[in-house]
């Protein structure tokens, strides 16, 4: 049984039919999935989860698929929450945690959006999907598209990591590179979608990716025994994760699974591409296009997010904030977390550790608060960020004393 009732425009509030293929509202606003939460509350209990498999599909009643025969899954979800026993006290925090999406299929949280988005596309009879990507989303959607028998057309910047290019190629996607940014890739995809009638799965241009991403919020609530943390930090490019987590927590409140407390949400961006931070600092509800965007945290190089107003709304409504970090700080944080915690995480996730340090120094974070950093992927997908010098031994050489 599905409890999805309709789609709703996030800008004008217009109600649309969820059983038709939908992209954006006529006003240009992204569409959000709405559920009959009264019925969910009556028929879904927290105890039900005890008997279910540890994948994100355990939250079936709060997901949009109608028929399980259309489910396209690789076992994604229920990623670990790990206490930073050494790295936390180093920045003055006793209860710092890392939710690590690095061990999910495809190695990044993008698989959450892909499993739900592709499953729903299959259910709606989609034959070809197209998207611009900085790499990881394209890799995930190509992977799940292959499993579903749906053709994927992917356009990414030529500077995107080689590993994600290979993932798209080996899963049979039609892959193209563009001499530019993701915004340029988006323009190319938009023209192709208009010409060929493909399904555009760009960030927030279809309603279902966000439903997969929101399961991070559902899991965090469950993993903290339905007592939500004080703060959640999220590396923000397109911002779907932060929008989804906020949506998930609102839905949990509506069905009575958590109380009135809402974590303060923090958007973390790189100094070389920080449109959300600039908008937040200026008290605006939308961001401006960021010219000459560049950062080593390639996944958050998004000059202008379609859902920027939803990201900013989530920050404002939860009394959160937005903060930038430098590339050198990101790479140093990546090294520290690997050495102190054994956590080899992606540069986007590493940016959060620097952000916690800055926010603690500013007094915005308190020593006793429960703080969750949401690492979005494994560092193994970014070998170019790690520069090491390894001594070469001859067969008769001895290893020096450590």
User: Is there a contact between 74 and 115 (Cβ–Cβ < 8 Å)?
Assistant: yes
Cite the beta strand spans of 127-206 per DSSP E: 128-132, 151-157, 174-178, 199-200
The CA R_g of the chain, rounded to the nearest whole Å, is 21
Signed CA dihedral, 41, 43, 48, 49: sign only: negative
Closest CA to 236 of 152, 328, 305: 305
How many Å apart are CA 154 and CA 185, to the nearest integer? 9
Angle at 335 between CA 380 and CA 303, to 5 degrees: 70
Q: Which helix (H) or strand (E) holds 210?
A: helix 209-213
Tens digits of pLDDT across the chain (402 residues) = 899 999 999 999 999 999 999 999 999 999 999 999 999 999 999 999 999 999 999 999 999 999 999 999 999 999 999 999 999 999 999 999 999 999 999 999 999 999 999 999 999 999 999 999 998 999 999 999 999 999 999 999 998 889 999 999 999 999 999 999 899 999 999 999 999 999 999 999 999 999 999 999 999 999 999 999 999 999 999 999 999 999 999 999 999 999 999 999 999 999 999 999 999 999 999 999 999 999 999 889 999 999 999 999 999 999 999 999 999 999 999 999 999 999 999 999 999 999 999 999 999 999 999 999 999 999 999 888 888 889 999 999 999 887
Look up residue 272 and give its two tokens: 């070389």
pTM equals 0.95
The confidence score (pLDDT) of residue 333 equals 97
User: Is there a contact between 310 and 243 (Cβ–Cβ < 8 Å)?
Assistant: yes
In this structure, the number of other CB atoms found within 10 A of the CB of residue 291 comes to 8
Plot region of 77 (φ>0 → left; ψ -120 to 50 → alpha; else → beta)? left
Sheet with 151-157: list strands edge to edge.
174-178, 151-157, 128-132, 199-200
How many Å apart are CA 347 and CA 382, to the nearest integer? 8
The confidence score (pLDDT) of residue 280 equals 98
Look up the CATH number of domain 81-108+209-383.
3.40.50.1100
The confidence score (pLDDT) of residue 212 equals 98
Angle at 210 between CA 205 and CA 211, to 5 degrees: 130
What are 98's strand-pairing partners? 82, 373
Look up residue 267 and give its two tokens: 């958007």
Helices 136-148, 162-170: crossing angle, 10 deg rounding: 10
User: Is there a contact between 352 and 235 (Cβ–Cβ < 8 Å)?
Assistant: yes
How many Å apart are CA 307 and CA 291, to the nearest integer? 18
90-121 in b/e burial notation, b at 16+ Cβ within 10 A? ebebebbbbbbbbebbbbbbbbbbbbbbbbbb
């Amino acid at each position: 049984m599905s409890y999805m009732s309709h789609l709703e425009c996030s800008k004008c509030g217009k109600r649309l039919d969820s059983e038709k293929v939908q992209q954006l509202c006529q006003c240009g606003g992204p569409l959000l999935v709405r559920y009959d939460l009264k019925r969910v509350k009556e028929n879904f209990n927290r105890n039900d989860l005890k008997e279910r498999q540890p994948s994100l599909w355990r939250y079936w009643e709060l997901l949009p698929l109608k028929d399980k025969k259309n489910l396209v899954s690789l076992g994604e979800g229920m990623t670990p929450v790990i206490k930073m026993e050494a790295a936390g006290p180093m920045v003055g925090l006793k209860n710092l945690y890392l939710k690590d999406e690095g061990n999910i299929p495809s190695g990044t949280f993008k698989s959450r959006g892909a499993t739900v988005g592709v499953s729903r596309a299959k259910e709606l009879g989609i034959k070809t999907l197209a998207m611009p990507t900085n790499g990881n989303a394209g890799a995930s959607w190509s992977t799940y598209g292959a499993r579903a028998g749906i053709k994927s057309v992917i356009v990414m910047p030529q500077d995107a990591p080689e590993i994600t290019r290979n993932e798209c190629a080996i899963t049979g996607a039609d892959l193209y590179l563009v001499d530019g940014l993701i915004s340029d890739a988006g323009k190319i995809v938009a023209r192709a979608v208009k010409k060929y009638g493909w399904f555009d799965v760009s960030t927030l241009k279809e309603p279902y990716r966000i439903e997969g991403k929101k399961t991070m919020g559902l899991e965090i609530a469950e993993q903290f025994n339905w007592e939500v943390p004080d703060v959640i930090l999220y590396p923000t490019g397109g911002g779907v994760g932060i929008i989804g987590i906020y949506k998930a927590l609102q839905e949990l409140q509506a069905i009575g699974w958590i109380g009135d407390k809402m974590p303060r949400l923090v958007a973390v961006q790189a100094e070389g591409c920080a449109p959300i931070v600039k908008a937040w600092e200026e008290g605006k509800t939308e961001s401006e296009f960021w010219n000459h965007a560049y950062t080593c945290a390639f996944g958050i190089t998004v000059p202008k997010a379609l859902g920027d107003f939803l990201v900013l709304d989530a920050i404002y409504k939860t009394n959160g904030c937005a903060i930038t970090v430098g590339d050198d700080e990101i790479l140093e944080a990546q090294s520290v977390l690997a050495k102190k915690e054994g956590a080899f995480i992606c540069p986007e996730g590493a940016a959060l550790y620097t952000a916690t340090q800055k926010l603690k120094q500013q007094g915005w974070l308190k020593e006793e608060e429960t703080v969750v950093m949401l690492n979005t992927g494994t560092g193994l997908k970014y070998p170019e960020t790690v520069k090491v010098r390894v001594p070469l031994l001859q067969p008769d050489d001895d290893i020096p004393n450590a």
